[in-house]
Structure 1
Amino acid sequence: MRAYPRSARPSWATALAGLLLALAAALTPVPAHAASGTATVADALKKSPVYVDPRAESQLSKPDAEALAKKIKDAGKPVFIAVLPQSAEFPPATVLKDVRSLTGVTGLYAIRLGDGFNAGADRQVMAKNAVGNLVGAVKRSSPRDAKTELNSFVDEALRQARGKAPGSWSGGGDGGSATAAWLAVGGVLVVGGGAGYAVLRRSRKKREERERAELEALRTVVDEDITAYAEELDRLAFTPSEPGVTDEMRKDYEHALDTYDKAKEQLAAAREPQDVQPVTETLADGRFALATLAARRKGAPLPERRVPCFFDPRHGPSVADVEWAPADGAPRPVPACAADVARINAGQDPEARMVPTDQGPQPYWNAGPAYAPWAGGYFGGAGGVLGGLLVGTMLGSLISAPSAVAEPGFAGPESLPGGGESSGSDFNPSDFSGSFGGGGFGGDSGGDFGGGDW
């Protein structure tokens, strides 16, 4: 169990205050809107994370919509989903931005308009690049039916989105009497502290369970990397006392041995997914020591200090950049080992590092953000080269997205309302810009809806 500092522990006062604020929101009158168009959608999303227009129920049935809403509520994230028909009430150029503005809550908003689908988010909830990468990946990997597409989007969005569910989802609205509300106040005063603490405990327990599952998956992959490293040491067949061995060779070998022991100790000490990143940093350093030792033994030029082979870090340090494109993605230069450079130049596929996922083995760049700590140790994470290499992939949607960089003319995310908090219509319009061009949402980018066709 992770230890929390005293100031971070849930308090009865904090829990009670949160429940009272939710009740105050329930007592606040909600402006009346006409029962049509984006105003209706926004009013519904204040009460539940999923809204299906009656004319679009053939796309997502009521039981499926309820199951999707429950999934979002259980995760406690500010993710809003609307399924709408193509209609003059929902202008393709502005519907997403209008729904966000009228709902007035910071979050990640996704709309299926007819057969089209796109999303936008306040940048303190998910960066624009991350939204675009996620939308593109879901569209390329999911069937066209609404149920599969929306569940695929929500499953990944709940892993990445920051913030909490809005308090209005737990009840309240523009109905109900003041008497009932004040009776609720009495109930809150009696049991509010305990109920609030129970909610906090459940939320923390879910987060810890998710982190444990992710860590165990990462342990398996990193343990394979450590085993592969040990096999390289064995194949080296190096004896420090053999004829011709220099002090530099002995130092390289000792360093390689030390990093093997260090990596095992770091993995054994890992308690959360992010603890895996130092382990792969250590393995990358050890493989460079092995490459340097091999060059000294052959009398060859010493290798340049480069990042590992992009396709599989177990191949050792890269030797050159080679042009490569992920499935349905744009070409870009990536660092590769000599063997993979030769394969690609010969028109063959590189030997990709496969990792386990719920959909079966996948190249690590298609395995989602759970593998970000593993890849970040090899390639430097958000501050290294990996973000640019993985643009347009599931893993890149997390690593490449700036999460705390203020845009010119706007305050940084730390000074803005958090995910699930009220901001009214005060939000960054560039996160929700664009339109549904070409008879559907255009392009793959969330937030940028112009051009192309879905």
Structure 2
Amino acid sequence: MRTAIARPRAAVPAALLAALLGLLLLLAAGPARAAGGVDAASAALKQTQVYVDPAMTGRFSEAQAADLAKKLEKADKPIFVMVVPATPEYPAATIAGDIRAEVGVVGVYAIWRGDQFKAFSDRKALPPASADRIAGAAFRAHPNDIGATVNDFVDQAIPQTKGSGVSGGGVSAAAIVVPVALLALVGGGGFLLLRRSKKRKAEQARAELAQLRTVVDEDITAFGEELDRLDFHPGAADADDAQRADYTHALDSYERAKRIMEQAKAPAEVRPVTEALEDGRFALATLAARREKLPLPERRVPCFFDPRHGPSVQDVDYAPAGGAARTVPACAADAARLESGRAPDVRTVDTEYGRQPYWNAGPAYSPWAGGYFGGGMLPGLLVGTVLGSALASPGYAYAAGVDPNGGADAGEYSGAEFDSGDFGGFDGGSDGGFGGGDFGGGGDFGGGGDFGGGF
């Protein structure tokens, strides 16, 4: 009988837990949630402009966070500061984009993650190069001192940042730092619910990565076979330095793709793999043109129908089954097929409904497709498909740099849609910066460490 009673008490209904959690947060005078992560961080930043994960309070205390939040409130500038650990809750490849999308304010976003520090900014608030320069200077001036670094950054950024702040008025330490004690108040049911949710997300990520790994391994193998079939010898008498450079570039891209895929721990980390394969195939196309004494090819995205076909050579009109017509990039072979009234050679993948074109295989394939085609053009290419519907979300619109509203001014809400080019990338040069890559992933932190997935 005791067992029968204990089970329903542990499985507290989600609605009741949510109500209890909301009441506790109201009593704490802060919007942050019981668990850390991007959602809790963005909720706190909307109110206080400062967020510190509980795991980092030993290095940056609630009192320090409250003082910094007061400074920002007094300055009335759209500057946001995060101090978080280097954990999967704050993915290196997407944290900056996710936070900017969820907070939705044109401003400056300074993120201390683990032992690294970087600042991103909308151009209308502060030129990205300035944000990167200030962050690098602060990081170098105060090694391993989070408080001194972020305060130095804020002090320098305040006079240069345009727009007004968005602090909710009045600074509560509970709104800045997620209180560890709050978890105890929620009770055993809350712990079980959070653990169950986290476990489901982890299982889903593993399943999606396994699904992607099969497809990406096929892509890597296909590119390796292209290299094996290539009749080129760097030491041949007719080979010049430019040809050897193209060949080396292709080989390096192949090795990079294999290495990144072997180390991939999350679906988002697949994107730099397909980026490397796309880059390698273009190097082979360039090599072929040099050897045949033809004009060098235009840098174009891969064939829409199957990226393994290599760079596209022209745009064609195409309507997927059940979808509207749109213009897509095609390789010469698929363009010829369409012109003669035949179906293109479409890449299909395994799904629960059998083999399907990749664009009908679901949102798990967005990192794979994003690496090949880039963020900005994907929604247009895939409109009306299963994958296209997933990519039409506000968060993806941000990452792709879509700005249909024309852009908000500094300090104003811009939704999740803005020019990610203005917001800055990961190609900064500060010692605390995260060099290389873009918001889609890939690239290492420049100086002082490597997040592995590119922050």
The alignment's TM-score, normalised by the length of structure 2, stands at 0.49
| Bigger Rg, which one | 1
